[in-house]
Chains A and B, each alone.
Chain A
Amino acid sequence: MASRHTKSHLALAALAAIGSSGLATAPTLASAAGKVPGKYVAGDFHNHTTCSDGSISMQKLVNKATTQGDGTFGLDWFVQAGHGGSGNRNCTLTEDQTLSTPVYPVTPQGPTTTWQNTTPPVQPKGLVSGTAPNQVMWRWQSIQEFQYPLIEYLNAFKNLPLFLGIESVVAGHEHASMSVITGQIPLSLDTATLPTAPNYNLNGSRYTPLGSASSLAQWEYCFDRNDVDTSRGNTTVGSASGNNWTCVVPGSANEADASWNATAQKLIPTGSGLGSGLGTKGHLKTLEAMKWMVANHPNGSYYVPAHLERAGPFNPDSNNGFNVEHLRNFNNAAPNVAFGFETQPGHGASSDRGEYAVLRNGFVGSATNVDSVGGTTYGGTGVYGAQVGGVWDALLGEGRNYWFFASSDWHNRGSFGPDDRRTTQDFLPGEYQRNYTMVRNGSDKLRPQGIVDGLRTGNNFAASGQLIDRLAFVACASYPGPAAKSNAAVEAIAVAAATHNTDTDVAGCATMGEKLKVRPGAEIVVSIVVRDPAGTNFSPYAFPNPSLLQIGVNQPINAPVLDHIDLVRGMVGGYRTPGAADYAGEWPRNTAWLRADGTTADLSVVPAAAKNTSAMVVKTFSGSAVTPWAAVQSGVDNTTFLKMTYRIPAVAASQYVRLRGSNLPASVPFETDASGNPLADVYTNASNPARLRIPCTTVQTTVIPAGAPYTGTAIDGCPAHLPTVTIPASGNTPAYTGKAVAFDVAAWSDLWFYSNPIYVEVSGSTTVAGVR
C-alpha cells in the first residue's frame, strides 16, 4: 500500500441519521457553519540537507519527500529544516540530471562542495569561522540568500507546499523544530512567471525570490545557540552593510541583561562547568526567543522541541535536555507558538532507535554520562509521550494545548546510499513516520499559514509504517431525553469524516485539539474510525514480521495489520503554578528508571510534576474483543474502514481522551507488556548486540548485487546487515544463534500511531484553559 491521499474537494451533503454494524456504506456528511473545510494532509518538518549535516541536496530531499513514485514518498507538505549555527557545504548544488531544473541545472559540483569551492566561489559573511576554502557560512546567510530562493523556486516549479524551517540548536537544551513563516511563499508567487534560466549575476544563488525568509534568518541569528556570529547579519563584524539586526524583545531587559553582547546585539550566555549556570542562562535566552516570536510573528511561528528526551535531563550548568517544567515555561510564554513536542523522534532505523541511548550524554556535575531520559525509546516513542501517565499526560492533565508530533530527522541511510530502500540510520521524510495535520484551506491550495495553523490546533495524528492513514476521532455529548445520542449516530459522524478525510463540524461534538463543553452528568460518546490501508507499505521487506512470529502470527512486515487501539483517559486539574512543588521535576535518571535488564520502574518513582496518575487506558478496541470494531465500506472510494464507539458515563470532572494503536498485540516478547504498553527498545538496539533478543529467522534468497543500491520492495528474508548474535536460553526457549531484529527491520516490525487529545470541559469543574 502506497498511501496516496486524494486531493479532491468534497461537497458535503445532509447527514444520514443512522449507520449500522457490519459492512455498510458510509453516509455523507452535513456541513455545519463555522469551520472552513479542510482535510488531513501528511507532512514532515524536521530533516537535513548538506547545508546542515545531511547527505543530499535540497532538490533530492524535496524529490524524495514529495514525489509520488517508486522510492519517493508523496508527502502533501514539506518543511525543509536543517540545524542552526553554521555549515560549509552548498546544498543547492544537486546530484544529477534527474534533479535538474531550468533555474538550478546540475553542475559538475555536488552538494558536498564547500561554498568557497563552488564555481564561482561564494563568500561567507559575518564573523569569520574556519579557513578558506572551507570557511563556514552562518546559517542565517545560507537560509536567507541560498536556501530560501531555491525552496521558493521549487514550491512554484513543482506547485507543492514547501517552505523553510530550522532544527534549532537550543540555548540551555538540545534541539527544537521551528519556523517563522513571515515573508515566505507570498501570494504573488501564484501568478508569477518563473524564469527559464539561472541568473548567474547573483552571488551564488540562481533565482531572485518574490518573498523572503529574512524573519526566519533573523531568528536564527538572534537565538540559535550555535550561531555565535556577532555581525548582526552584516557583511563583516562592525560593518553597517547588511541586515543590521538587533535582537531586542519588547519588555525584556535586553541590553541590561548580563548576557547581552553589544557588538552582536543579542544574548550570548557564557560560562562553562559546574556552577556556571550556562543551562539556566540558556533556557532564559530560549524564553526570550519565544517572546520575540510572540511579539513579532504571533501567528506565523512554531517551536517544537525535537527528540527532547535524547540529551538527558536538563542541566543548569550545561546544554542537555528538557524537563517538564521547561515545556511548561515555553507553553506559558508562547502558547500559540510552543504548542507541542516531537517525542516520537526520527532516526528510526539507527543502532539506537531514535539515537536515544543508555549513558549517552556528558553531564556537567556527574562523574559518569547520563542516559537519554527513559534510556531508550518505547515502540519508537520517547518516554515522555510513550508512558501512560507520564510527562505528556501531566501536561494534558493541566488542560494545555501541547501536542504530539513525529518527524523523520532525515540525515542519511547509514551504511547504505540515499536511493537504497534499506537503512541502518534514518528513514526519508514520509517513508516511515508521517504527521497527518488538519489544514483548513477550503478550495485554496495548501499554504504555509494554513499548515502552521493546522499544527497549532492539535488536530493532528502521527503514524509509523502507514499503520493507519485515516482517522476520525470524535466525542459528542449525550443527555437523557431528546438530546440523547446513540452510538450509531456518533459513529455515522465519524465514518463520514474519515471516509472524506476531513473532520467533524457538528454542534455538541469535538475532535482532536478541541474541547467539548458539557454539563455535569453528560455521557460522552467517543467514536473512532480508522483506515488500516490495504496492500503494502513502504517497507522493502516482504518476509514475516519476526516480532509477531514469536507469538505464532505470520504477517508480512510490509503489510502490517492494525491489532488494536487503546483509548487513554486522563483527568484535568488545571495549570500548575510556577515555583510550586508540582511544577518542576526531573524524570528518574539512569537505572532509577531503565534497569540493566531492560525493565523499567513505575510512576511511583516519578516526581509529581512529571506525571498524571489519573491517566489510564479505559478501553481497548480490536477485531477480537468482546465488542469488536466493525468494518464499514467507504462510500467515497469503497476502501474499508473500522469503526468503534465507547461511552463515558455521567462525567463530573473535566478530562481528556486520546488514542494510541499498534500492529503488536499485548505480551509480544521484548516488544509489549501484558497491558499492551511498548517495552524499552533496548532489545532491538544493535549498539549492544549482547542485548538483542528477537530472532530473525527467515532466510533471504533475494539476490541483491553488491555495489548497487537495492531499490525494490520485496526482500524475502532477514537482510545481511542484521547482526548475528547468540541469544541465551530462557525458560523453555532454547539458545539461538543467528540474525536478530535490529535497525530498520526493528522499526518496520514495531508500528504505532498516536492521536492528539479531545478535551471534555465539565461546567463547574476545571476549565480547560489551553483550548478555546
Chain B
Amino acid sequence: MLPAHAHEYYVPTLRISHPWCRATPAGAPNAVVCITFDEVRAADRLVWVETPVATSAELFDGTVARPVDFAIASGRDTELGEAGTVLRLTGLTQALQLGRSYPLRLVFAQGGEVAATLDVAYASLR
C-alpha cells in the first residue's frame, strides 16, 4: 500500500522503500510504521529503529510486544504492514501530523545503518 514511487534507501544488502505511517491523534501513544524491503541480495535482520518523535520501537503481533529483530529473507520482497506482526513506534513525543516527515534511523545486522525518512502519508483510521 504505497504511494506512487517515492523515497528509497539502501544498505548493501537490500533496499528500503518509503517508510510511512498514518497520522496520529493528539495523545496517541503508538504509530505503526510500514516499510517494504526489496532487492534483497543477502538475508538480513532489522535490529534497531530510532526516531526523534518516539521513545522506542517494537514488533507487536497483537498480543505480545518484543524488541525489533525482524528477519528479511534473501531473494524476495518482505513487507511490514498494518496487519499481522507490525513495527510500532511507542512513546510518541508528539502527534504525527498528516503530510509531515520525520527522521527514521534503521539498523540492519548485516547492512548497517541508514538514515531514512518516515512519511505521514495517510489520515488516521479513526
* A interface list, Cβ under 8 A from B: 50-53, 55-56, 82-89, 110, 112-114, 130, 134, 136, 139, 169, 226, 272-273, 351, 355, 360-364, 366-369, 411-418, 425, 687
Contact = CB atoms under 8 A, between A and B. Distances in A.
B69 interface: no
Question: 5 shortest A-B CB distances, which residue pairs?
Answer: A87-B4, A362-B10, A55-B99, A53-B6, A134-B1
Contacts of B98: 55, 110, 112
Q: Which of A50, A112, A366 has the most CB of B within 10 A?
A: A112
A88 B3 contact: yes
B43 to A, nearest CB: 15
B41 A273 contact: yes
Given A112-B123, A362-B10, A414-B100, A50 B3 contact: yes
Contacts of A369: 10-12
Interface in B73-111: 97-103
B18 A418 contact: no
Contacts of B10: 360-363, 369
A326 B5 CA distance: 23
23 contacts: A51-B4, A52-B5, A53-B3, A53-B5, A53-B119, A83-B6, A84-B5, A87-B3, A88-B1, A88-B3, A112-B121, A130-B1, A134-B1, A136-B4, A226-B5, A360-B10, A361-B10, A362-B10, A362-B11, A362-B14, A362-B15, A369-B11, A414-B100
A134 to B, nearest CB: 4
A413 B121 CA distance: 13
A362 B12 contact: yes
A413 B39 CA distance: 29
Given A53-B5, A362-B12, A110 B100 contact: no
Interface of B: 1-7, 10-12, 14-15, 18, 39, 41, 97-103, 115, 117, 119, 121-123
Contact of B3 (A89, A273, A366): A89
A85 B117 CA distance: 21
Contacts of A362: 10-12, 14-15, 39
B97 A417 contact: yes
Q: Which of B14, B101, B102 has the most CB of A within 10 A?
A: B101
B12 A367 contact: yes
Given A112-B122, A272-B39, A362-B11, A169 B99 contact: no
Q: Which of B3, B97, B100, B102 has the most CB of A within 10 A?
A: B3
Contact of A83 (B1, B5, B11): B5
Given A53-B18, A361-B10, A85 B41 contact: no
Contacts of A53: 3-7, 18, 119, 121
A364 to B, nearest CB: 8
A50 to B, nearest CB: 7
Nearest to A130: B1
A83 B7 CA distance: 11
A368 B99 contact: no
Contacts of B119: 53, 55, 412
Given A361-B10, A362-B10, A369-B12, A52 B4 contact: yes
A139 B3 CA distance: 11
Contacts of B14: 362
Contacts of B5: 52-53, 83-86, 169, 226
